[in-house]
């Protein structure tokens, strides 16, 4: 069998197991692209100025999966009570509140305990210190999270997959080490591009390097 036939057989096997558990796969032949999102930082305009100087503009490096979003040339160091992580990429453009996204493994290195949150939900999240290469430092009393698993999609995609914004689904992952990821949040917006984002811990668990494929299943647990 070729690779496509192997993936189809994996999906069928997963679907059979899920059906026995009372979970039905959404009737749609299209797969969902899955991207592994490494640790990164979103800075507010005030914090851009605080770290790099008044009037500083972040430097474009390359586009990322969502339209209008991009990786910047600038990198920073994250510092926690027990350790630090260097060369953490800043993503642009600047947004309303500074947000830092790490994996659970990263959190252990830093010695912190961030909650799993949807992007932008930062109230009572974890504290973190950010240091630029020039030695400037800012300390956030809140803003560090482990990002929830989520799928960006347009309203048309949502209709096609029969899901709605904020809904929780599971996603069957194909590949060398297939399985199912639960509690995946659907995010719907006209400007989004279809893509599922997971962190490096999830990517490692399913042997996904950079990108993979998944299929939405309705979640009943």
CATH, residue 213: 2.40.40
135 with 43, same domain: the answer is yes
Mark whether 109 and 166 lie in a shared domain.
no
Co-location of 127 and 109 in the same domain: yes
Same domain, 43 and 141: yes
Tally helices (H) and strands (E) across the chain. 5, 14
Query: What is the per-residue burial (b if ≥16 Cβ within 10 Å, else e) of 175-206?
Result: beebebbeebbbbbeeebebbbbbbbebbeeb
Quick check: bond before 93 cis, omega within 30? yes
Segments forming the whole domain that contains residue 199: 3-30+149-218
Rounded CA gap, 193 and 188, in Å?
Answer: 9
Whether residue 130 is found in the same domain as residue 98:
yes
Q: Which helix (H) or strand (E) holds 160?
A: helix 155-161
What value does the mean pLDDT take over residues 209-219? 84
Final residue before a domain boundary, out of 88, 117, 147: 147
pLDDT digit string (tens) for 11-62? 566 656 655 655 555 444 568 999 999 999 999 999 999 999 999 999 999 9
Q: What is the pLDDT of residues 113-122, one digit of tens each?
A: 999 999 999 9
Q: Are 143 and 122 in contact (CB under 8 A)?
A: yes
Please state the rounded mean pLDDT for residues 84-109: 97
Tokens of 83: 């350790």
- The domain total for the chain is 2
Give the predicted TM-score (pTM) of the model: 0.84
| The pair of three-digit structure tokens given for residue 217, joined into one six-digit string | 């299943």
In which band, very low, low, confident or very high, does the pLDDT at 221 lie, cut at 50, 70 and 90?
very low
Residues 163 and 137 in one domain: no
Kind of pairing between the strands at 150-153 and 168-173? unpaired
Residues 44 and 139 in one domain: yes
Q: Can you name the residues that pair with 216 across neighbouring β-strands?
A: 171
* Final residue before a domain boundary, out of 119, 147, 175: 147
pLDDT digit string, tens, across residues 144-201: 999 999 999 999 999 999 999 999 999 999 888 999 999 999 999 999 999 999 999 9
DSSP 81-145: SS-EEEEEEEEES--SS-EEE--HHHHHHHT--PPEE-TT--TT-EEEEEEETTS-EEEEEEEEE
Most confident option among 1-10, 103-112, 171-180, 203-212: 103-112
Domain termination residue (choose one: 147, 163, 195):
147
Residue 44 has a CB neighbour count (10 Å cut-off) of 16
Rounded to 5°, angle at Cα 89 from 44 and 111: 90
């Amino acid at each position: 069998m070729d690779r496509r036939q192997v993936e189809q057989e994996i999906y069928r096997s997963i679907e059979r197991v899920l059906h026995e558990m009372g979970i039905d796969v959404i009737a749609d032949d299209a797969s969902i692209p899955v991207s592994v999102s490494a640790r990164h930082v979103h800075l507010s305009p005030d914090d851009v100025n605080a770290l790099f100087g008044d009037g500083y503009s972040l430097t474009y490096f390359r586009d990322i999966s969502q339209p209008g979003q991009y990786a910047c040339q600038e990198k920073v160091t994250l510092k926690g009570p027990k350790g630090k992580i260097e060369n953490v990429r800043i993503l642009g453009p600047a947004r309303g509140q500074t947000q830092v996204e790490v994996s659970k493994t990263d959190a252990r290195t830093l010695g912190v305990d961030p909650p799993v949150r949807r992007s932008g939900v930062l109230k009572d999240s974890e504290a973190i210190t950010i240091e630029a290469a020039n030695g400037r430092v800012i300390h956030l009393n809140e803003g560090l999270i482990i990002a929830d698993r989520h799928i960006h999609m347009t309203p048309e995609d949502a209709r096609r997959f029969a899901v709605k914004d904020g809904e929780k689904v599971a996603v069957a992952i194909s590949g060398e080490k297939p399985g199912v990821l639960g509690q995946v949040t659907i995010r719907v917006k006209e400007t989004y591009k279809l893509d599922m984002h997971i962190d490096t811990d999830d990517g490692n668990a399913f042997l996904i390097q950079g990108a993979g494929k998944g299929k939405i299943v309705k979640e009943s647990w």
